Amino acid sequence: MKTGIVTNDTCLNHDTGHGHPERADRVSVIVENLKKIKNKNLVWKKSKKFDPKYLEITHNINYIKKVKKSFPKKGLFFLDGDTIISPGSKEASSDAVGSIITAIDGVQNKEFQNAFCAVRPPGHHAEKNKAMGFCIYNNVAVGAHYLLEKYKLNKIAIIDFDVHHGNGTQDIFYNNEKVLYISTHQYPYYPGTGGNNEKGKHNNVLNIPLPAGTTSEEYLNAYEHVLKKLKQFNPEFILFSAGFDAHKDDPLAQLQLTSKDFYHLTKRTLNLAKLYCEGKVVSILEGGYDLNALKESTTMHVDALLEFSK
Ligand SMILES: [Zn+2]
């Protein structure tokens, strides 16, 4: 079996304006570096077109219409204070959603064992009715709905290790017992949600808030709670909201992880995925704003995925 990497040049045309941390270089450095991995088990794919109904299950139709009308013909447009779109954002945001659908199909059709989507814009802050925090469509949420609807699965786990709480993903699945949402994040911090009293209507949300300054050892100890919850839930498929901004060098937050920690957390999760869901895992890029840290950390993450694709 193999590991899929899904990416698109279109995501480079999502222009967020000068000096914005969520910039095209993020994906360029990741892709450039992954291309250096000489491993015949790495399969490169582009996003395919998808049925818009999966986007419409995730977001309110009026929100989707509003976003579509907002893409400017030229210049930039602000969906919220820090979520900026340009003419190229239309295709980029659609292909970001398409990437997770392409990756899921690849895993379900046994083209590869697992996959990583190196795309932008990210998605986990986007709520059913709201763009937020650099996110337009909630890519990982569309992926989970796609697994439920197209493949008729009943138990999807989303693990969000981005340093920020994925308020959007939590919002979308708060009342949905078929989807377990687990997040580790700096707290209190942007976006303000993610306290451990937010548990989901069916106890299907686990928030693991961590103070600024949390070290590798403390983080990996806390991650044991993620694994424990995952075992209890017994998922049929695991999705990663893979943000790498918990890295110690990241300019937007204050956790202290090293690049290698992303290898460890991925490997520990995949050990369970192998036992519980035949190793079916799809990961999609969220945050990560120090280019060097992002390059190293994504390579560690993909190294672990490749180990399990043997
Ligand atoms: Zn983040």
Please state, as a whole number, how many other Cβ atoms lie within 10 Å of the Cβ of residue 75: 9
Say if CB 159 and CB 269 are below 8 A apart.
Answer: yes
- Spacing, Cα 185 to ligand 1 middle (Å): 9
- Spacing, Cα 125 to ligand 1 middle (Å): 9
Q: Is the pTM of this model over 0.95?
A: yes
- pLDDT average, residue stretch 208-221: 98
Say if CB 243 and CB 163 are below 8 A apart.
Answer: yes
- Spacing, Cα 101 to ligand 1 middle (Å): 22
- Spacing, Cα 244 to ligand 1 middle (Å): 7
Work out the angle at residue 128's Cα, subtended by the Cα atoms of residues 124 and 133, and round it to the nearest 5 degrees: 40
User: DSSP secondary structure string, 184-223?
Assistant: EEESS-TTS---TT---TTS-EEEEEE-TT-BHHHHHHHH
Q: Which two tokens stand for residue 285?
A: 């890029």
- Spacing, Cα 40 to ligand 1 middle (Å): 32
- Spacing, Cα 287 to ligand 1 middle (Å): 4
The per-residue pLDDT for range 134-184, each reduced to its tens digit, is 999 999 999 999 999 999 999 999 999 999 999 999 999 999 999 999 999
The per-residue pLDDT for range 229-281, each reduced to its tens digit, is 999 999 999 999 999 999 999 999 999 999 999 999 999 999 999 999 999 99
Which residues are annotated as catalytic?
125
Say if CB 101 and CB 290 are below 8 A apart.
Answer: no
DSSP SS3 for 167: helix
In total, the chain counts a number of residues equal to 310
Q: Which two tokens stand for residue 282?
A: 């799809």
* Kind plus residue range of the DSSP H or E element containing 180: strand 179-186
Burial class of 271 by CB neighbour count within 10 A (0 to 12, 13 to 18, 19+): middle
- Spacing, Cα 243 to ligand 1 middle (Å): 6
Residue 309 pLDDT grade (very low, low, confident, very high; cuts 50, 70, 90): confident
Where residue 203 falls (left for φ over 0; alpha for ψ -120 to 50; beta otherwise) is left
Q: Which amino acid is at 152?
A: K
> Crossing angle of helices 89-108/139-149, nearest 10°?
40
The per-residue pLDDT for range 11-59, each reduced to its tens digit, is 999 999 999 999 999 999 999 999 999 999 999 999 999 999 999 999 9
The per-residue pLDDT for range 164-174, each reduced to its tens digit, is 999 999 999 99
Query: Percentage of the chain with pLDDT > 90?
Result: 99
Report helix, strand and coil shares of the chain as percent, to nearest 5: 40, 20, 40
Cα separation, 28 vs 263, whole angstroms: 21
- Spacing, Cα 246 to ligand 1 middle (Å): 8
Please state, as a whole number, how many other Cβ atoms lie within 10 Å of the Cβ of residue 215: 15
